[in-house]
Amino acid sequence: MEEIFVTKPVLPPMEEYMKYLQDIWETHNLTNVGKYTRLFMLELMDFLSAKHVLPMCNGHMALEMTLQAMELKGEVITTPFTFASTTHAIVRNGLTPVFCDIRESDCTMDPDKIESLITDKTSAIVPVHVYGMPCDVEKIEAIAKKHNLKVIYDAAHAFGEKFNGKSSAKYGDACMFSFHATKAFNSIEGGLSVVHDTATLTKVYQLHNFGIMDEEHVEFVGANAKMNEFQAAMGLCNLKHFEENRLKRKDLFTYYRQRLSDIKGIRFLDYDEVRNEFNYTYCPIFIDKETYGMDRNELFEILSYNHVHSRKYFYPIVNEFNCYKDAGFRGETPIAKKLSEEVLTLPLYTDLRLDQVKMICDIIEANAKTK
C-alpha cells in the first residue's frame, strides 16, 4: 500500500538544475552573495513587485534578522497559532511576545483583540498569514499607525499570493517568506526578507553577513544567514514553474472542498477567491466532534491506518510549548486553543494525484456520523 504524506517537496526537471551545477563547477563560486543569489534576488523583486528584498539561508533567520534590523524594544504582539519560528524569532531578539487570539473564520490574528494588549512597552505587531490566509491587513495596519507600532508579517505561507489584487510582499513595514522544501515554493532551504526602505535593507544585509561593513569595520552583532549558490539555483529553477504548480494544487484543493465541505461537522476556512489569489499549499479542515461523530485525533488515527499521513498543524499552540508555557507571557487565546484541537491538515502538494485525493475524501466521508 502506497503511503501518502502531508507534503512532498517540488523539484524542477533535473536537467534544468544541472545547467546551473555545471556553471558552479566551472566558477567555484559557491556562496557569499554570488551571481545566482543576486539574479534570484532580481527575479524575486520582479515576481513579488517588491523593491527591497534579500534572499537568506532560511525563513527563520530572515525573520530574526528583519526584526533585529528594525531595532525593536520591549513587547511584540503576535499569534500562538503558528510554527515555532515566529515566537522564537521574537524571543531570540530579546523581545517579549504577547499572544493575541485568532479568528475562527481564517485563523489569523483577531484585530479586535489587539488594542487591549497594547502597553507603553509595545513596539511591534508580528501577525502570520497562516496557511496563506491573508490577515486583516487594513485593520492591523490602522491600529499600528494609531499607536506608532511596526508591522512585520510572517508571510512564510503566503509566497506568490495576492491580497486584494496586491502582492502579499507589499504589506506592513516588512515581511518574511520561507523557501523551505515543504513550502509553496522552495530553494531547498531558504528565505526572504522584504523591507520597504533602503536603510533597513542595508542593515539586514550587514546583519546577515556577521555585521561586517568592510574589511576593517564590524558594526553590528550579526550572524551568518547567507544564501548559497545551490539554493539560489534551485530557487531560479522552481520559480519558473511556480504558477503551473500552484494551479495543479488549486484543482486538488477545489476537489477536497467540494467533496468535504458538505459533510456535517467538517469546516473549511473562508477562502475569498474573488478578492485574493492563494497558493494552495495547505488543506486544513476543522472537525467538530459532536456533529462529525468522532474527534480530530480519531480521524487522524483512521487516516494513518489507511496509510494517509495528515498532520495536526498547528497543535499544540506555541504558548503551550514546554519552553514557553511557564514563561509568564501575557495573552489569553481560547480560540487558538480550541482550533488547534480541531484542525487536521490533509495531504496537499503539486504531485499529489486526484485519485489519491478521492481516496482520502472517501475515508473521511465513510467515517462521518450522518452521510
Ligand X SMILES: *Cc1c(COP(=O)(O)O)cnc(C)c1O
Q: How far is the CB of 156 from ligand X (least distance, A)?
A: 3
Going from the C-alpha of 287 to that of each of 21, 240, 352, the distances in angstroms are 46, 37, 23
Q: Site for ligand X (CB under 6 A): which residue of 128, 184, 225, 283?
A: 128
Q: How far is the CB of 183 from ligand X (least distance, A)?
A: 6
Cell of 327: 514563561
In eight-state DSSP terms, residue 307 is T
Q: What is the dihedral of CA 33, 37, 41, 42, to 10 degrees?
A: 110
Q: Which residues contact 14 (CB under 8 A, 6 or more apart)?
A: none
d(Cα 35, Cα 228) in Å, to the nearest integer? Answer: 10
Query: How many residues form the binding site for ligand X (CB under 6 A)?
Result: 14
Q: Which residues contact 145 (CB under 8 A, 6 or more apart)?
A: none
Can residue 110 be called a binding residue for ligand X (CB under 6 A)? no
Nearer of residues 95 and 364 to ligand X, judged by Cβ: 95
Q: Site for ligand X (CB under 6 A): which residue of 191, 222, 235, 331?
A: 191
Q: How far is the CB of 51 from ligand X (least distance, A)?
A: 22
Look at the block and give the residue holding cell 534579500: 54
Q: Site for ligand X (CB under 6 A): which residue of 7, 66, 85, 108?
A: 85
In the chain, which ranges are E strands?
A: 52-56, 75-78, 96-99, 122-126, 150-154, 162-163, 166-167, 174-178, 191-195, 212-214, 217-218, 266-267, 276-277, 283-287, 343-346
Query: Within 151-170, which residues bind ligand X (CB under 6 A)?
Result: 154, 156-157
Nearer of residues 181 and 294 to ligand X, judged by Cβ: 181
Q: How far is the CB of 184 from ligand X (least distance, A)?
A: 11
d(Cα 296, Cα 352) in Å, to the nearest integer? Answer: 23
Look at the block and give the residue holding cell 523551505: 180
Can residue 317 be called a binding residue for ligand X (CB under 6 A)? no
Can residue 132 be called a binding residue for ligand X (CB under 6 A)? no
Nearer of residues 188 and 236 to ligand X, judged by Cβ: 188
Q: How far is the CB of 290 from ligand X (least distance, A)?
A: 30
Can residue 229 be called a binding residue for ligand X (CB under 6 A)? no
Nearer of residues 157 and 292 to ligand X, judged by Cβ: 157
Q: How far is the CB of 95 from ligand X (least distance, A)?
A: 16
d(Cα 63, Cα 343) in Å, to the nearest integer? Answer: 26
Can residue 180 be called a binding residue for ligand X (CB under 6 A)? yes
Can residue 280 be called a binding residue for ligand X (CB under 6 A)? no
Can residue 82 be called a binding residue for ligand X (CB under 6 A)? yes
Q: Which residues bind ligand X (CB under 6 A)?
A: 58-60, 82-83, 85-86, 128, 154, 156-157, 178, 180, 191
